């Protein structure tokens, strides 16, 4: 186990670079969507962020998840080490529980306004490709690691399980953000066992109903079990707008802007955001949409659709072209 621990940085770096290279080639060979932003801007800034994140993480914690799991095994800490669970069972259960924890943590980062300020930076990428999967604010990375360390200490998972989980999560994050065109039947089959790019792209839609869905990074089952699954974007994968409404300029894609983004503007668009929907505004907006949409508003679902669109637009500075015709004076 000490050998694995000593080789962990090399194992993980090799796996990361191999999967990143494979996805980059795949994106060139079979892209799913047309690129709007030159690759050089996004790739250089997203990759610079990875270097900053890794340095801050290594400097901030004396021990990371795999190291803590090995220490817990040696000292007999945590549930699986106390009950001496069979190794295979402990590996499988540990990986499942770690993945569930990542799902729940992701939901929490969408629901709590202060945490959404950090996590929305991941969503503010204006194109969606493998490097989007690496784009997380360093403070979000630190909070994630603290949660993971607490879980590892309580659970006492085998070190191998944590190492495997970290490598697989890193690889699937690159895969499910990749701008690759999987044949539809393959996607339909594959998304029963892993989150596919088409499934996760829905989560990067500018439409808040879609942003606040498909939280899984690895296993797709949690979204289906918890009722947060949305199969496809309403406007289709080619027609949908990627990103959030607050940060839509090319300058916002630079790493210095990414780092200060949590401090800029209101925390609008999080999963619990109803700030734009006071009773008065709800009525006046309802009337406005009634005029704009004509007979469509007689259907029950349309009112829900209207309120969500408007909730997502609170604090919006640059209305996207796709919804600009419903201007409401924000
Ligand atoms: Zn998210
Ligand atoms: Zn994502």
Give the separation between CA 235 and CA 238, rounded to whole angstroms.
Answer: 8
Q: Is residue 116 part of a domain?
A: yes
Structural domain boundaries enclosing 300: 274-326
Domain-terminating residue out of 205, 225, 259? 259
Three-state SS for 205? strand
Tell me how far the alpha carbon of residue 177 is from its chain's centroid.
9
Q: Are residues 242 and 317 in the same domain?
A: no
Count of structural domains, the chain: 2
Q: Are residues 39 and 6 in the same domain?
A: yes
Q: Is residue 268 part of a domain?
A: no
Instruction: Specify the higher pLDDT residue, 296 or 30.
Output: 30
Q: What's the gap in Å between 31 CA and the centre of ligand 2?
A: 17
Q: What's the gap in Å between 132 CA and the centre of ligand 2?
A: 7
- Tell me the pLDDT of the chain averaged across its residues: 85
User: Would the pLDDT of 296 be above 70?
Assistant: no
Q: What's the gap in Å between 71 CA and the centre of ligand 2?
A: 32
Q: Is residue 264 part of a domain?
A: no
Q: Is residue 148 part of a domain?
A: yes
Q: Is residue 131 part of a domain?
A: yes
Q: What's the gap in Å between 89 CA and the centre of ligand 1?
A: 30
pLDDT for the residue numbered 84:
83
Ligand nearest to the CA of 176: 2
Domain-terminating residue out of 209, 231, 259? 259
Q: What's the gap in Å between 62 CA and the centre of ligand 1?
A: 28
Q: Are residues 164 and 302 in the same domain?
A: no
Buried b (16+ CB within 10 A) or exposed e, 57-89: eeeeeeebbbbbbbebbeeebbbbbeeebeeee
Q: Are residues 223 and 296 in the same domain?
A: no
Buried b (16+ CB within 10 A) or exposed e, 31-41: ebbeeeeeeee
Q: Are residues 278 and 254 in the same domain?
A: no
Give the separation between CA 175 and CA 169, rounded to whole angstroms.
Answer: 10
Domain-terminating residue out of 259, 287, 309? 259
Q: Is residue 267 part of a domain?
A: no
233 close to 205: Cβ distance less than 8 angstroms: yes
Per the confidence metrics, is the pTM higher than 0.85? Answer: no
User: Would the pLDDT of 323 be above 70?
Assistant: no
Q: Are residues 171 and 199 in the same domain?
A: yes
Q: Is residue 265 part of a domain?
A: no
Q: pLDDT for 150-205, tens place per residue?
A: 999 999 999 999 999 999 999 999 999 999 999 999 999 999 999 999 999 999 99
CB atoms within 10 A of CB 172: 21
Q: Are residues 163 and 237 in the same domain?
A: yes
Q: Is residue 266 part of a domain?
A: no
Q: pLDDT for 207-236, tens place per residue?
A: 999 999 999 999 999 999 999 999 999 999
Q: Are residues 37 and 152 in the same domain?
A: yes
Q: Are residues 243 and 322 in the same domain?
A: no
Ligand nearest to the CA of 177: 2
Q: Are residues 157 and 96 in the same domain?
A: yes
Q: Are residues 203 and 96 in the same domain?
A: yes
Q: What's the gap in Å between 292 CA and the centre of ligand 1?
A: 31
Q: Are residues 107 and 146 in the same domain?
A: yes
């Amino acid at each position: 186990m000490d050998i694995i621990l000593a080789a962990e940085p090399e194992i993980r770096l090799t796996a990361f670079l191999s999967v990143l290279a494979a996805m980059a080639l795949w994106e060139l060979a079979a892209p799913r969507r047309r690129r709007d932003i030159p690759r050089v801007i996004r790739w250089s800034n997203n990759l610079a962020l990875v270097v900053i994140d890794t340095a801050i993480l290594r400097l901030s914690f004396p021990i990371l998840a795999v190291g803590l799991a090995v220490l817990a095994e040696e000292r007999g800490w945590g549930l699986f080490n106390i009950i001496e669970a069979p190794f295979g069972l402990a590996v499988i259960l540990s990986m499942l529980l770690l993945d569930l924890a990542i799902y729940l943590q992701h939901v929490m980062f969408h629901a709590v306004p202060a945490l959404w300020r950090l996590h929305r930076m991941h969503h503010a990428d204006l194109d969606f490709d493998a490097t989007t999967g690496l784009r997380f604010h360093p403070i979000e990375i630190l909070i994630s690691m603290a949660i993971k360390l607490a879980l590892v200490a309580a659970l006492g998972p085998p070190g191998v399980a944590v190492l495997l989980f970290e490598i697989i999560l890193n690889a699937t994050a690159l895969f499910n953000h990749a701008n690759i065109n999987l044949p539809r039947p393959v996607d339909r089959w594959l998304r029963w066992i892993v989150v596919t790019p088409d499934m996760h792209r829905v989560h990067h839609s500018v439409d808040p109903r879609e942003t606040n869905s498909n939280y899984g990074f690895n296993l797709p089952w949690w979204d289906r079990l918890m009722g947060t699954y949305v199969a496809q974007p309403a406007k289709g994968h080619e027609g949908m707008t990627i990103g959030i409404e607050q940060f839509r300029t090319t300058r916002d894609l630079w790493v210095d802007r990414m780092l200060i983004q949590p401090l800029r503007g209101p925390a609008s668009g999080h999963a619990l955001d109803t700030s734009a929907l006071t009773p008065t505004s709800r009525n006046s907006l309802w009337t406005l949409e009634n005029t704009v949409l004509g007979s469509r508003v007689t259907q029950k679902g349309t009112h829900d659709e209207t309120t969500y669109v408007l909730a997502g637009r609170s604090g919006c500075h640059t209305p996207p072209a796709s919804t600009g015709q419903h201007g409401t004076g924000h």
